[in-house]
Amino acid sequence: MMPSAVSRDIARQRLAIGRPSLAYRLCKFCSPAVAADLTLLLTAASVAATALLSKALYYPLVLGSPADLADYVLIGLGVAAVYFLTARFVFHLDFEKLEQGLDSGAQSVKALLIAATLFLVAVFLTKTTEAHSRGWFVAWMISASLTLMLLHVAAARLFEKAVRLPDSPYRRRVAVFGTDRLATAFAAHMADPGSSRAELVHRTGLPDDTDTATFRHEAASFIQYCRHHPVSEVVVALPWADEERIMTAVHAFSALPVDVRLAPDQAGFALARHQLLGGTALPLVTVSTRPIRDWGKLVKELFDRVGAAFLLVVLSPVFLAIAIAIKLESKGPVFFKQQRNGFNHRVFWMWKFRSMVADADKQATTYRQATRGDPRITRVGAILRKTSLDELPQLINVVKGEMSLVGPRPHPIALDDQYMALIDQYASRHAVLPGMTGWAQVNGYRGETDTEEKMIGRIAHDLHYIRNWTPTLDVWILALTVVRGFVNKNAY
């Protein structure tokens, strides 16, 4: 029997996902918000470039005089800067608007005219109108406007292709959790073709008379789906009068690295007519957002990967010396790998220098944390653990994008399973990449967590980091790690 066209499409998509294209990698690297800002920066650069090009051509060809471009560099950059700020913060040209091509191009031309008007006012007030040719100014505005329209049409085409990529990061994958009635109403609105980026990928609808135990079980199953499938937004569609269950659902789903929104009650759906997410017709209340997103995510990822690659090169002699010391003392591999839960509970292999005897894992039937005076630790391993040098191979994980230089430390899976049910919001620490060092570690919460109080303190510091992240905080934590983090009384 010949496979159906749908089956072939699915097979092709899975193959494409298995071997990501360059376009997919770029989309994964730059979020829609970053792509929109970069597009506006490109259009701003075109405004400055057309100012110089118009000057360079108009004066020799029309006026027959040489073109002095020195002053016009500043003029072009100044107008371009005002244009960018106007387009970005006045007309709010975001990804959705830039998808419209000609319409966003028209808005962009309006932003240019506002910037040009401010330039004319400045020229008038400084009494320098005679220093600039009116013909050049008209030529600049016409060429800049045409260039802006062309760039906006091209950007819209590129964005359309990016959204249509298999498993595109630019597609908004929405999962809804609520009552049958409201979840069905939301699904009906999602069927509206108004937003090409919005796609309902999962729906959990519960009867109105669902008991508490079933509600919690379905919420846990919903969370598991979101962890194992690409979901970017979660919508809670419960009656607003059921405040307790709304709070329970929002509290549970906020641990996921997604945007959590609250759908309106039945009356809101009755009034809604057009657009789904982020629109005015169906008001969705945002109650939780993904941490470290857009430009922050891009800056952090660049800092991590470039910094880790640099450190791998610089520290290669240290790696070699440690490898020789390990091999000279005991038989077994130089490196030790252990599975850990990473971003959104995705399991990865974390690298370390081996600090215990080769068969340490086989000596225990269940997971056991290292303790002071642990007989499994070798003499070289004791030095490595005391100085945290055993963690250096995790730079490989950072380069691969599985870890970050700074973030919540990844715990062994057995430890995660143990404390997940004991500590509220424990799962929230998986909303970002795990780190080689973290806010908890530089504040004394490192080493063995032999009591629940110690783990609660560590999680509190992890959540503080996630909620208050800035690039400067990462730099500060790395500096503190160098000063006080490598050698610590709790490291053994």
The string of pLDDT tens digits covering residues 271-296 is: 665 444 444 457 788 999 999 999 99
Looking at the domain assignment, is residue 491 inside a domain? no
Question: Do 301 and 409 share a structural domain?
Answer: yes
User: 189 and 157, same structural domain?
Assistant: no
Q: Dihedral (C-alpha) 262, 268, 270, 274: value to the nearest 10 degrees?
A: -80
Specify whether 348 is located in the same domain as 470: yes
> Are residues 319 and 452 both part of a single domain?
yes
DSSP assignment letter at 276: -
- CATH classification of the domain holding 210: 3.40.50.720
pLDDT in tens, 54-88: 999 988 888 878 777 888 899 999 999 999 999 99
> Based on the domain organization, do 339 and 474 belong to the same domain?
yes
Which of 341, 464, 466, 446 is closest to 403 using CA atoms?
341
d(CA 264, CA 286): 11
Q: Which domain holds residue 116?
A: 26-163
Residues 330, 282 share a domain: no
Average pLDDT over residues 379-393: 89
Pick from 114-118, 126-130, 228-232: least confident: 126-130
Q: Which of 153-162, 258-267, 358-367, 389-398 has the lowest mean pLDDT?
A: 358-367
Q: What is the DSSP letter of 260?
A: E
For 17-26, 81-90, 115-124, 344-353, which range has the lowest pLDDT when averaged over its residues?
Answer: 17-26
Give a yes or no: residue 389 inside a domain. yes
- The C-alpha atoms of residue 444 and residue 405 are separated, in whole angstroms, by 18
136 shares its domain with 188: no
Exposure class string for 278-315: b at 16+ Cβ within 10 A, else e: bbeebebeebbebbbebeebbebbebbbebbeebbeee
